Chain A
Amino acid sequence: MKKFLLVLLSVAMLGFCFSATAEEDVTVILDYVANTNHTGMYVALDQGWYAAEGLNVNIVEPTEGATATLIAVGKGQIGVSYQEDVTIARTLAEPLPIRAIATILQHNTSGFATYAGKGITSPADFEGKTYAGWGGPGEEAVLKAVMTNAGKDFSKLNVVTSDGSGFAALKDQVDIMWFFEAWDNIKCELNNFPIDYMPLRDLDARLDYYTPVLITSEEMIADHPDTLRAFLRATTKGYEYAIANPDQAAAILGKYAPDESPELLKKSQEYLTGQYIADAPRFGEMKDSVWDGYTDFCLQYGVIGQKIAADQLYTNEFLPDGQ
């Protein structure tokens, strides 16, 4: 009997070894701490859909802001980035070898937020105020553009970079911040902190760019296209599940983001059900016009020095076909 068990155990272990080697390791590097933008990937991981595709997915949170570089040098296979970063990274003198392979949200759901009661409701009110941002290369161009459109002088806006100060700073420390509806706006709502909000896409149509997007390296595209297809198949399933079951999806995400309040995750998830696919034919699909629009915007405001074709920035070819 003992011998039999031993044999059974070794067979099981042998089988385990084989299945482990058969799986392909995929490291996903997020753009920030785990949040509702990443839900679909956590669902796919939690439900075993990546494993079913033969992928051993490991999701890591990044050291701040280096995701695109980490993907470029192969420290991870899939990264969460933004159209802004991809555009800038691709137009450097030495371009990063990366591409966007899916967008997580179809529209730019970010914008400028101010404390309600300060009476700052449009870029026309920005002069003489203080804006706190993260110091991104395209950020000042956006501010400049929306203020110029409103006939105001950008040089009269006080710009500071800030890391880590929450929405409460809007009351006393600063006047304007860049908020993401699915996260910051809902946080304010839950904390009864009244804000005025100006969506970017209403200020300039070219600012309705993709944020966030999934990126990969050119090496992955050339050498492992099937891995990318398998990853996006399972990921699409994850996001479709999140759209159909926001409450369960929030609960799954909560397992991986235990420090966030379940209420925030739930509300944010409900909001995003309408944003993951929105008006697109399928999850992740991107359009030339959106990439070209932002490229033109960056050229106009001198953020990038040269024009770049949309197919140098993104591809839809690894997305699963629509049903």
Chain B
Amino acid sequence: MKKHSSVWVFLSLIALWEAYVRLAAVPGYVLPAPSAVMTALITGIPALLPHMLVTVGEALSGMLIALVLALFLGIAMDAFPVVRRSLYPILVVTQTVPMIVLAPILIIYLGFGLAPKILTVVLMCFFPVAVSFTDGMRAIDPAYAHLVRGFGASPWQTYRLVKIPYALPSLFSGLKVAATYSISGAVVGEWIGAQQGLGYYLLHVKNSYALDKMFACVVLIVFLSILMNSGVRLLGQAWMPYLKRKKEI
């Protein structure tokens, strides 16, 4: 019972919402009932599916690019303190620019194709991955690194044998955060300018006053975000089975 308390809270909230809409006769253009949202979701699946595939594709590509970038930059920042000192503040600054402002500017340079959406995802996902990865490597006990170096390991071998494995759990927790953002990042990019994707669909149903379809699309976005998050968690467990027993991931 205790374990599922959040489920019960969630279900009660939904029930309250449904009851409120029905009892107060709230019109659909103000607040659709959960039942209406579910109906819109089920009947809307054929229309939503192609848009969903586009958005998921953008989110996955963006995540992958962010990961590769974060690995490279993370190691560079760890290996060369001057790189860290000069880049880290800039990374923080990039996170303070509101994406809703940046996205239209990206379109001016990159057009209406997939590129600006993927870049939006990269910009949102890169930071948590890079920061958790470098912080993970910094947290290592220097004695470990000294040990392998003492056995004659090259700098790269030190990373491969000690530093990267040590930073993996922290890298995966960064990835989990990034995965949760990735779908929303793609949707923001699509909202600003697109010809397909869930953001494009959202804009269209909003302009048609179809709030039930809008909520249905949001439900789908939430579901996909959770799926991305769980996907990364499962990947982490498969990669590092030794941590599963300790419940660290």
A159: CB under 8 A from chain B?
yes
Q: Please, which residues of chain A bring their CB within 8 A of the CB of B209?
A: 68-69, 88-89, 92, 96
B27: CB under 8 A from chain A?
yes
A173, B108: Cα distance in complex, Å: 8
B62: CB under 8 A from chain A?
no
Q: Please, which residues of chain A bring their CB within 8 A of the CB of B195?
A: 158-161
How far, in Å, is B159 (CB) from chain A's closest CB? 43
How far, in Å, is B181 (CB) from chain A's closest CB? 21
B208 adjacent to A163 (CB under 8 Å) = no
8 Å CB interface, A153-181 against B = 158-165, 168-169, 172-174
Q: Which among A73, A137, A164 is the interface contact of B204 at CB below 8 angstroms? A: A137
A128: CB under 8 A from chain B?
no
A132: CB under 8 A from chain B?
yes
Q: Which among B27, B30, B104 is the interface contact of A163 at CB below 8 angstroms? A: B104
A17: CB under 8 A from chain B?
no
How far, in Å, is A218 (CB) from chain B's closest CB? 12
**Count of inter-chain pairs, beta carbons less than 8 A:** 71
Count of chain B residues near A, Cβ 8 A: 21
Closest to B112 in A: A160
Q: Which of B49-57, B186-194, B238-246 contacts A (4 or more CB under 8 A)?
A: B186-194
A130, B107: Cα distance in complex, Å: 14
A272: CB under 8 A from chain B?
no
8 Å CB interface, B106-128 against A = 107-108, 111-112
Closest to B110 in A: A173
Please judge, given known A-B contacts A163-B192, A165-B193, A173-B112, whether A96 and B207 are in contact too, CB under 8 Å. no
B203 adjacent to A69 (CB under 8 Å) = no
How far, in Å, is A155 (CB) from chain B's closest CB? 13
Q: Please, which residues of chain B bring their CB within 8 A of the CB of A169?
A: 108
Q: Please, which residues of chain B bring their CB within 8 A of the CB of A173?
A: 107-108, 111-112
Closest to B196 in A: A160
A137, B213: Cα distance in complex, Å: 14
A5: CB under 8 A from chain B?
no
A136: CB under 8 A from chain B?
yes
A135 adjacent to B203 (CB under 8 Å) = yes
B166: CB under 8 A from chain A?
no
B160: CB under 8 A from chain A?
no
Q: Please, which residues of chain A bring their CB within 8 A of the CB of B30?
A: 69, 72-73
Q: Please, which residues of chain B bring their CB within 8 A of the CB of A161?
A: 193-195, 200, 203-204
Most A Cβ at <10 Å: residue of B27, B203, B209? B209
How far, in Å, is B57 (CB) from chain A's closest CB? 17
A65: CB under 8 A from chain B?
yes
B29: CB under 8 A from chain A?
yes
Show 24 A/B contacts (Cβ-Cβ < 8 Å), sorted by A: A65-B206, A68-B209, A88-B208, A88-B209, A89-B29, A94-B27, A94-B28, A132-B112, A135-B200, A136-B207, A159-B195, A160-B112, A160-B194, A161-B193, A161-B200, A161-B204, A162-B112, A162-B193, A163-B193, A164-B192, A164-B193, A165-B193, A172-B111, A173-B107
Given contacts A134-B203, A164-B104, A164-B192, could you give 13 more A-B pairs where the C-beta distance is less than 8 Å? A65-B206, A68-B209, A72-B27, A88-B209, A93-B28, A94-B29, A132-B112, A135-B203, A135-B204, A160-B112, A161-B203, A165-B108, A173-B111
Residues of A within 8 A of B (CB): 65, 68-69, 72-73, 88-89, 92-94, 96, 130, 132, 134-137, 158-165, 168-169, 172-174
